[in-house]
Structures are given as C-alpha cells and as structure tokens.
C-alpha cells in the first residue's frame, strides 16, 4: 500500500479550493444570486483552514502571507453577509409597524451600498492578488524534511481542532462572546475534518457532520444575538417596537438553544485498539445550559 505524503495532497486541495472560489465570483458580481456571497465565503473559509493546516509543510511565513490575502477578501464580504442575514432575520419577525418597515428599508439601502463596495473590491483585484500569491506558493518546492505521512498529519490536525472545541465545550448558552468563539472552533473542526476526510480512518467519520450541526445552531444563535444588538441601537424606532422585536428574537433564540442542546453529542474517538469495549460508543462535546 502506497504511503501518501501530505505535501502533494495539500497542493491539489488548495488548487481545487481556488477553482471553487473562482467559480463563485461571477455570481457575486452579478448580484442576482442570494447565496453567492455565502458560497464565496465558505470557499474562502476552506482555503484559510487549508493554509493554516499547511503551515508545517510550506512554512508558517509563506502560508500566512497567502492566508492574509484571502483574509482581506473574506473580511470585505463579512459586512455584506451580515447585512443579508440581518435583513432575513428581522424580516421574519413580521412586526406590523410603519416605523419598523421604514427602518428595514433603510437597512436594505445599506446592504445595497455594501454590495457595491464588495463588487468594487473584487473587480479591482482583491481575489486576483490572493490567487496569484497562492500560485506562487504552490510553485515552491516542498522541503522533504518538512513533509509528513498524510494519514498521521490528518489525524493530528483534526485532533488539535477537536481539542480546541473541547476546551470551550462548557460555554454557558447565555455567554454571547463565548458561544461565538465556540462556533469558530467548530468551524475549524468541521473544515479540517472535511478537507482531510480522504485520509482519515472510518472512526473519524462522524466528526465533520457533528461539527457542522453544532456550527449551524451556533450560527443561528449568533445571528439572533447580533440582531438584538442592532435593534437596541436603532435610531428612529419607538421603544415599544424595539421591545417587541427583542422579545420575539429572544423567543426564537430559546428555541434554537433547545435544538442545540438536543443535538447528539459525538466525541472524537481514540484509536480502536486503545478504546475499551465499554467505551465503544461515547458522547461528544457537551455544551451545558
């Protein structure tokens, strides 16, 4: 059986990710696809995770130079994506008030302005610069002394990402900043497990799926928490309208938290040979209420 090395695998994975991001760009520029910005950001998140994982193989400095260029694109789209999600979240509250309707229209105009800013940045070369840096990185020869067996590299990488999650798994569901940090940790675990799935043993299989579920729930909670802050700071909204919106958002948050706590908990298992029979089925990181 051939023992695969990490370097060539990462080169192919980074090239594939670059192509996926490039395919999403025209959809963002056309501004007619509601999911285009989301898909672009998912592609960039995968790229950034890959580049972070690649530090030991390509060298931290070189990997981080490329990663920083993609981070610029990611941040430039962040405000726009947040505005899109906020409008969706607030629009679902169905608050029948003229002042609220006017305020939502103002938020919509802000979203349009943010979209123009993102499109301008992409057209003036933000993504091209990142992609050019990536191609330059991938032309560099990989130092054989840095390369590792892919199977070992994959297990270690996912194990470290999982450890980051477990360090935060007792976060209280009322801790807004703590839950946001936990969500980021789950993102890292999910994308590491997904991009390295081909090199992971079967008993790692449920890790990415479980992480994605937690990430989704925590993302919903984050969107609701952001909406509450925006409503509280809103100018021109009567106090009773603000209160009605905040109460509705709070009720939705409670429902999402209940779903979060009901998710099956799956721990990253040890190697089967090291796992006692009595622990053949174990639970995962638990977020305590």
Residues 6+ apart with CB under 8 A from 221: 173, 179, 253, 256, 257, 260
Across 218-226, average pLDDT: 95
CA angle 63, 67, 71 (to 5 degrees): 170
Place of tokens 């940045």: 121
pLDDT exceeds 60 at position 285: no
Which pLDDT value is given to residue 94?
81
Place of tokens 């302005």: 113
SS3 assignment, position 149: strand
Which pLDDT value is given to residue 32?
59
pLDDT tens-digit map of 61-82:
999 999 999 998 888 888 888 8
**Higher-pLDDT residue of 91, 119:** 91
* Two tokens, residue 38: 């989301």
Across 253-274, average pLDDT: 73
Across 239-262, average pLDDT: 94
Question: What gap in Å lies between CA 268 and CA 262, rounded to an integer?
Answer: 18
pLDDT exceeds 70 at position 41: yes
pTM: 0.81
From 34-38, 128-132, 143-147, 252-256, the region with the lowest mean pLDDT: 34-38
């Amino acid at each position: 059986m051939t023992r695969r090395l990490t370097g060539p695998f990462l080169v192919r994975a980074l090239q594939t990710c670059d192509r996926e991001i490039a395919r999403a760009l025209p959809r963002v520029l056309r501004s007619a696809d509601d999911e285009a910005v989301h898909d672009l950001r998912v592609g960039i998140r995968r790229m950034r995770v890959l580049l972070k994982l690649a530090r030991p193989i390509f060298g931290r400095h070189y990997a981080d130079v490329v990663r920083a260029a993609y981070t610029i694109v990611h941040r430039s789209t962040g405000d726009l994506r947040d505005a899109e999600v906020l409008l969706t979240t607030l629009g679902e509250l169905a608050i029948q008030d003229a002042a609220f309707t006017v305020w939502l229209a103002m938020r919509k105009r802000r979203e349009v302005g943010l979209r123009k800013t993102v499109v301008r940045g992409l057209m003036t070369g933000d993504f091209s610069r990142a992609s050019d840096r990536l191609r330059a990185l991938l032309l560099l020869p990989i130092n054989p002394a840095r390369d590792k067996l892919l199977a070992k590299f994959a297990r270690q990488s996912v194990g470290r990402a999982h450890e980051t999650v477990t360090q935060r798994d007792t976060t209280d569901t009322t801790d807004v900043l703590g839950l946001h940090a936990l969500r980021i940790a789950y993102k890292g675990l999910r994308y590491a497990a997904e991009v390295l799935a081909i090199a992971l043993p079967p008993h790692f299989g449920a890790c990415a799926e479980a992480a994605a579920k937690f990430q989704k729930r925590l993302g919903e909670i984050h969107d609701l928490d952001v909406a509450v802050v925006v409503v509280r700071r809103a100018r021109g909204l009567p106090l009773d309208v603000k209160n009605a919106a905040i109460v509705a958002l709070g009720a939705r948050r409670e429902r999402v938290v209940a779903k979060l706590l009901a998710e099956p908990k799956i721990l990253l298992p040890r190697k089967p040979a090291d796992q006692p029979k009595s622990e053949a089925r174990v639970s995962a990181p638990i977020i305590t209420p």
